[in-house]
Amino acid sequence: MKVIEARGLRKAFRTTIALDGVDLHVEEGHILGLIGPNGAGKTTALNAILGLIPYQGELRVLGRDPSTERDQLMRDVCFIADVAVLPRWIRVSQALDYVAGVHPRFDRAKAEGFLARTDIKRTSKVRELSKGMVTQFHLALVMAIDAKLLVLDEPTLGLDILYRKQFYDSLLNDYFDRSRSIVVTTHQVEDVQHVLTDLMFINRGRIVLDCSMEEFESRYLEVKVHPEHVAEARALKPMHERQVLGRSILLFDLKLDRVDRQKLAPLGDVRTPGIADLFVAVMGKQAGQAQGVAQ
C-alpha cells in the first residue's frame, strides 16, 4: 500500500505559490528525505499531508483524505512539526498521562523505557529542560506511539551533533521497521545521508530530484581530479565543479552525462558524493536555468 500518494499538489498563499504541482509517493517501510532551500515548500507539503492546511490537488495518506478525515488519520500518523512545540508549562509526567489518555496506540511503558535512558526527570516541566532534552522527550513520546507514518519537520534544528546523532540512531534502532514509514525534512543533510531510503529535492514548489538512495549511489559520482587531468575531465561535462584546497572536484550524473565509472577512475579519486554536494549542484543548475530564462 502507498502510504502517501500526492498528485498535482498545489498550494498558493496570497503572494506566493508554495506548491506548484507536486507529485509525491511514499511506500511502506521507506524513509523519505525532503530536502530544499528555505521557502522551497517543504513545510507546506508536510502540512498538507498532515491536514493542517487546505490545498488543491489529489492527496491520499494511508488511503485517507487529510482534509476531511484528519481526526481518524491522526491515530495512524504522528508528527514532530518543529523543535520545541511541546507546551512549556507541562510536566513530563503530565504529558505522559495526557498522551496515554487520548491516544489509543500509545504504549506508556515504552515511553518510560526511552526516558529511563535520558536524564529527563518525571517531575520536570518542559521549560526546565534543555533544547536537546525537549527533543529527546518529544521523540520518546512519538516513538511510543504505534503509528504507520511519522512526519518530521526539521526535528533536530539547533541541536548539537551528539543529540542529532542520537536522535537518528534511536529512530532507526528503536522505532523504524518495514511496516512503518518516515518523512523527514532537514537542512542538516549529512546527518540523514545514511538514514534515508529515498531522496527528494524540492525548489520553488516543484520536485527537482526524486530517486531512491540506491539509485543516488549508482547514478552520481564525484571525482577529485588530478591536476593534470582537469581539462580532460571537464570535457566530459560534469554537472558541477567546485574547488577544495586547490583541487577540482567534479560531480557527474552518470545517467545524463553518458560517462561511466571506468572512464572516470583514471582521472582521480572517485567516490559517492554527499547529499549536500548534489543539492548544491542541482540547485546551482536550477538557478542557472532561471537566469538563462531571464536573459
Partner 1 sequence: MNTQSNAVPESFDSQGTAPAAISATRPMYWSIRRELWENRSVYIAPLAAAAVFLIGFVINMVIMRRSIASSPLGPAQQHDLLATRYEISASLIMGTAFIVGIFYSLDALYGERRDRSILFWKSLPVSDLTTVLSKLTIPFVILPLLSFAITLATQFIMLVMSSVVLAGSGVNIAALWTEASFFRVSLVLLYHLLTVHGLYYAPIYGWLLMVSAWAPRAPFIWAFLPPFVICGVEKIAFNTSYFLALLEERLTGPGGSMAGHDHATDFAGTLIPHHFFSTPGLWIGLALAAVFLFVAVRLRRYRGPI
In the complex, which residues of this chain contact partner 1 (CB under 8 A)? Answer: 47, 50, 52-54, 70-72, 74-75, 78-82, 84-91, 94, 97-99, 101-105, 107, 110, 113, 117, 138, 142, 146, 173-174, 177, 179
Nearest CB to partner 1, comparing residues 79 and 168: 79
Nearest CB to partner 1, comparing residues 88 and 271: 88
Question: Quick check: helix, strand or coil at residue 278?
Answer: helix
Sign of CA dihedral 112, 113, 116, 117: negative
CB of 85 to partner 1, least distance (A): 4
The grid coordinates listed for 237 are: 561535462
Nearest CB to partner 1, comparing residues 141 and 202: 141
Question: Quick check: helix, strand or coil at residue 54?
Answer: coil
Go through the chain and tell me how many residues it has: 295
Residue for grid cell 504507520: 148
Sign of CA dihedral 172, 132, 186, 43: positive
Cα 248 to the chain's mean position, in Å? 29
CB of 165 to partner 1, least distance (A): 15
Question: Quick check: helix, strand or coil at residue 94?
Answer: helix
CB of 275 to partner 1, least distance (A): 26
Nearest CB to partner 1, comparing residues 22 and 147: 147
Nearest CB to partner 1, comparing residues 151 and 251: 151
CB of 103 to partner 1, least distance (A): 6
CB of 95 to partner 1, least distance (A): 9
The DSSP H or E segment spanning 79 is strand 77-80
For residue 129, the 8-state DSSP code is S
CB of 34 to partner 1, least distance (A): 17
Residue for grid cell 534511536: 170
With beta carbons less than 8 A apart as the criterion, state whether 201 and 279 touch: yes
For residue 8, the 8-state DSSP code is E
Nearest CB to partner 1, comparing residues 30 and 240: 30
